[in-house]
Amino acid sequence: MKKAAPILSAAVMALSGTLCSCSEAEKPHTVSFFAMDTYMTASVYGNKSDADNVRETVLRLEKLLSVTDSKSEIYAANHAMGRETLLSPETYEAVSFAEKMSVRTGGALDITVYPIVREWGFTADEYHVPDEDTISELMTHTGRDKLTLTDSGIILAEGTEIDLGSIGKGYAADIVTAELTASGVTSAMLDFGGNIQVIGSKPDGSPWKIGVRDPFGDELAGTVTVTDSSVVTSGGYERCFEVDGHRYSHIIDPSDGYPAESGIASVTVIGDSGMLCDALSTAIYVMGPERASELRRCSDDFEAVIILNDGRLLITEGLEDIFVPSDNYSDVSVIPE
């Protein structure tokens, strides 16, 4: 069986110009570090300690939420053999939010798909196409009914394992945003590899301009101009492999255990909360454009840029004034509310 090299890349980009046009006094404190499987950068207009605290907070959360660290709470839950595992309030909040989003997205977001993600090789970059029986067997351990949240803990059915990779970076960005805001920071940009979160506006008062990556090349598909927002992209190209000309990507459709093929090449979700946008970008990638439009019609807490495999670009109505497409995407359709 042929094995192709993984294709990895960041999906949304903080445009470099956004951070360089200020005077010496307005220079941000910048901290870069590797966490949650991603290279992260925070640019904070505040004290150096504010920037340093970003790294401390993300690393602390990673210790709680990591699926591979044998000391994490998620690891403990995954290895509890059907017994209850007590969770810290932070881990509990992330899991219960994922459960709520699973209901809201009709099961498209499902943190119990982890054993299937692993079987396809996406966790260790050792890709292969599993046989149907293996997928069927693994599917008997997935689904919301295999997970019970107790007053302060979690019980997973034996054989069920969870992974918060679909929402962890967004959750970390929300917690960092709350901490920075509490410490008086009014301008900052967090670039958590595909998850961008901005606090306030730029120091000169103008909004932040965030680039939306073209899933078919290295250029931008457009830019979105925001303040106090989260901009999160999920794309099949971020981690994928090809066998016999067929591309398999790392987001699994929980309804059949196969990589989602909804017609979406990438989706960028814009909203107030990083965790919400992170959950929705993963889910919409699975749901496809029609179900995503239905979801948007009964929601008022997010906007989205959807780029389809056939090259069409769709935006939700709320982006009409703040999304500017690149020349190669001049034909933009608007999803009506």
Contact 90, 61 (CB under 8 A): yes
- Separation of alpha carbons 27 and 9, rounded Å: 27
| Interface characters, 152-191, with ligand AMP (x: CB under 6 A) | -----------x-xx-------------------------
Taken in order 34, 39, 43, 44, the sign of the CA dihedral is: negative
- Separation of alpha carbons 160 and 162, rounded Å: 7
Enter the tokens of residue 8.
Answer: 């990895």
* Binds Mg ion by CB under 5 A, chosen from 112, 282, 293, 316: 282
Applying CB under 5 A, the span of 112-120, 151-159, 211-219, 278-286 interacting with Mg ion comes to 278-286
Comparing CB distances to ligand AMP, the nearer of 18 and 282 is: 282
271 interacts with ligand AMP by CB under 6 A: no
- Separation of alpha carbons 184 and 169, rounded Å: 22
Residues 85-144 that bind ligand AMP (CB under 6 A): 109-111, 113, 117, 122
Binds 252, which of ligand AMP, Mg ion, none (CB < 5 to 8 A, cut-off by type)? ligand AMP
166 interacts with Mg ion by CB under 5 A: yes
Q: Which residues contact 281 (CB under 8 A, 6 or more apart)?
A: 232, 233, 234, 267, 268, 269
Give min distance, CB of 208 to ligand AMP, in A.
21
* Binds Mg ion by CB under 5 A, chosen from 119, 253, 278, 303: 278
- Separation of alpha carbons 44 and 308, rounded Å: 35
- Separation of alpha carbons 73 and 63, rounded Å: 8
Contact 265, 309 (CB under 8 A): yes
Binds 117, which of Mg ion, ligand AMP, none (CB < 5 to 8 A, cut-off by type)? ligand AMP
* Binds ligand AMP by CB under 6 A, chosen from 254, 257, 274, 318: 254
Which chain residues interact with ligand AMP by CB under 6 A? Answer: 109-111, 113, 117, 122, 163, 165-166, 234, 250-252, 254, 278, 281-282, 286
